[in-house]
Structure 1
């Protein structure tokens, strides 16, 4: 229902504004409850007067962050994965972040997990029937073998889910760590990539002692470039702390840019070896990207390599990825099913019940109050 109305403060009967009044009766609203929207002219003075007028009425208060979305989840208008997608969409800065978040919001994960839940329910019913079934021994054994095979197929399907990429890089940016010995040109390279002086550059060894993070978007992909302290033995306590942080960041890197000798780089799944200061070398270094922070053209092959490695980190065409919490639940489900899957109907029935409960957690149907607090705490007021 829509109507033009004059908005009047109940306490003083003073007119505040004229605007559009929209009524969405339950359950046909975004939250599943009765919802009223006041569309005003939007100046700060009008909005402040409207809020003061409404909150002066007994029983009316301002919403907590994410409260409307939380009510939508509680009333079945939105599932937990869609709520996470909305939170990510509100924070999205790159097009890739927007696309991945929108796929969650529109129920990409929900549809897949609902299908998975139906499979578990079907297997549970078969396991319960096998417990109560009394018949020919060969027939009973055949039913149990078929049930075990299907449980193994379920476990393999869950294993496939665990191969999905992590959501953190798409949500927070791919973490690219620059590391190497002191005075290797890490800070100069960071400034060249960023196109500005973000890090201190000096010929004095050990200039960088703290971690410097620079968020950047390159060809629509969000990155966080991390400049670290040079690696070397030192008696300086402050420098030792910086080196310790460097080693920790190397372990947390999605992509490692190593500015040092090719044979001295730490082991890393996604490693790019860089021979910096190419303009000062008499010959190129084999097995490395030879570049100069003073030559923008020399950075082009590096950007191409970053893009290629990024494709192994980010979600594929379906846009699906897992948070750490979701991955932990999936790992738990895989371990509950067992390897090998037990040939016992009673044990299978119990294991399948536990797996169904985990899927219900993933869908936000039960046992997720602490998680809801974290998710909706990311929302701004009015969402």
Structure 2
């Protein structure tokens, strides 16, 4: 924390603008060593940056944020450079040559923001999710976490437990004075309400996990049913080879796409049929196994009446007739004409959206473990109210509040920081 750190905060490679961030007690002195003058706080100015020999590095726009009003909570200087690979390399080298700053470690800027009270741990994790977001649903969820909703929810639960603790301790500290007789009734209500809220959050954990990892949709059917063509149509790619030769698809072809704001991987599987071809038999076996684990399955057929499927049927299976341009069935889809494709995409999106409609906010496995531990403590407390001594109840309530606080990062979180920040990029 005493070091001044620097790093490229934008993506590697050629760009219109590249930003180098310098944070720490020597940030302004580092700028001076490059020939630049500090702007007013939260202001900017143009600067001709030079190296130690006086050679011009770049004409840059310099921004300055003073300690307490910056992302990290420290003095921060941002150098907005021309996005040339050579310029970036020269400026980074010149900063290192000053001896005033060192290259930042992955996530170190955000770690300093946490340690300086500019963010809590849930917001740090939300920022990581924002960076990793691929779809609109992932972005919206990550922004809610980054905006502090998890911290607010956990803070509310913790406040309820502290209130319950205070009421319980009142019966100990003022045992010889008048204490409302219904104190433990309110304590029980507070514990029960908190436990119910935590359980609702845990119930939505599965939906959050699927929101982040994405769904799998398997296309299943006989050879030449149109699975590969449908894969290409749904994903708007040419990922699967399409021919009239039965058994062309031997292995599973996977294409990740965005459907209704959700990350979805479409799986094109080998045609299901009896065969003596060893390679095709392996493909059919893999198709059956993957079909069992898929989140949603589209059973594709071109016959007028759907065949008997060699897989166990699931309630959410979608049976779809293909090649509507040839058979004239108004309910069938046609990859060639595009009829029914958008409708099918909407149906897939609607079915998968229902599975994340009640998603919670907590997505980290570590935080979920904390919620489970807190819930279990509260469940035992509910059973012991009126039976256990008040001082023991108060101690266990304090323990529950302390455990819950680990999610925000206020209690004993040093051991988890390396894991949290290891996935961050260098400029964060």
Report the TM-score when normalising by structure 1.
Answer: 0.79
Question: Could you tell me how far 1:182 is from its partner in structure 2?
Answer: 6.1
Question: Could you tell me how far 1:147 is from its partner in structure 2?
Answer: 1.8
Specify the SS of the correspondent of 1:311.
helix
Further displaced range: 83-92 or 149-158: 83-92
Candidates 358, 364, 381, aligned match of 2:409: 364
**CA distance in structure 1 between the partners assigned to 2:58 and 2:218 by the alignment:** 54
Contact 2:247 2:271 in 1 (8 A): yes
Question: Could you tell me how far 1:277 is from its partner in structure 2?
Answer: 4.9
**CA distance in structure 2 between the partners assigned to 1:157 and 1:28 by the alignment:** 35
Structure 2 partner of 1:272: 318
Contact 1:8 1:17 in 2 (8 A): yes
Candidates 129, 153, 159, aligned match of 2:193: 153
Question: Could you tell me how far 1:52 is from its partner in structure 2?
Answer: 0.8
Structure 1 partner of 2:350: 308
CA offset digits 1:232-290 (Å, max 9, x no partner): 78895885587357535643x44333447587654657432334456677989xxxx74
**CA distance in structure 1 between the partners assigned to 2:332 and 2:218 by the alignment:** 18
**Residues 330 and 237 (structure 1), Cα distance of their counterparts in 2 relative to 1, 3 Å cut:** farther
Structure 2 partner of 1:84: 125
Structure 2 partner of 1:352: 397
**CA distance in structure 1 between the partners assigned to 2:283 and 2:309 by the alignment:** 25
Instruction: Give 5+ residue unaligned stretches, structure 1.
Output: none
Contact 1:5 1:19 in 2 (8 A): yes
**Residues 292 and 250 (structure 1), Cα distance of their counterparts in 2 relative to 1, 3 Å cut:** farther
**CA distance in structure 2 between the partners assigned to 1:60 and 1:194 by the alignment:** 47
**CA distance in structure 2 between the partners assigned to 1:370 and 1:199 by the alignment:** 46
Structure 1 partner of 2:29: none
Structure 1 partner of 2:36: none
**CA distance in structure 1 between the partners assigned to 2:108 and 2:268 by the alignment:** 39
Candidates 58, 67, 75, aligned match of 1:34: 75
Specify the SS of the correspondent of 1:296.
coil
Contact 1:192 1:294 in 2 (8 A): no
Contact 1:176 1:257 in 2 (8 A): yes
Pairing 1:21–2:62 present: yes
Q: Following superposition of structure 1 onto structure 2, how do residues 42-81 of structure 1 map, counting pairs within 5 Å?
A: 42-81=83-122
Candidates 371, 378, 382, aligned match of 2:423: 378
Structure 1 partner of 2:21: none
Question: Could you tell me how far 1:367 is from its partner in structure 2?
Answer: 4.6
CA offset digits 1:189-244 (Å, max 9, x no partner): 21231233312345666544433221223455442222334567889588558735
**CA distance in structure 2 between the partners assigned to 1:355 and 1:182 by the alignment:** 58
CA offset digits 1:128-149 (Å, max 9, x no partner): 4445563699966x43343223
Contact 2:270 2:280 in 1 (8 A): no
Candidates 293, 299, 302, aligned match of 2:341: 299
Question: Could you tell me how far 1:37 is from its partner in structure 2?
Answer: 2.1
Tell me which of the two structures has the higher relative contact order, counting C-alpha pairs closer than 8 angstroms and 6 or more residues apart. Answer: 1
**Residues 332 and 273 (structure 1), Cα distance of their counterparts in 2 relative to 1, 3 Å cut:** farther
Task: Tell me the number of residue pairs that the alignment of Structure 1 and Structure 2 aligns.
Answer: 374
Contact 2:257 2:265 in 1 (8 A): yes
Structure 2 partner of 1:331: 372
Contact 1:108 1:320 in 2 (8 A): no
> Over aligned residue pairs, what C-alpha RMSD do you find?
3.8
Contact 1:186 1:259 in 2 (8 A): yes
Specify the SS of the correspondent of 1:192.
helix
Question: Could you tell me how far 1:31 is from its partner in structure 2?
Answer: 0.4
**CA distance in structure 2 between the partners assigned to 1:267 and 1:357 by the alignment:** 47
Contact 1:148 1:341 in 2 (8 A): no
Specify the SS of the correspondent of 1:167.
helix
Structure 1 partner of 2:161: 120
Specify the SS of the correspondent of 1:362.
coil
Specify the SS of the correspondent of 1:338.
helix
Contact 1:216 1:224 in 2 (8 A): yes
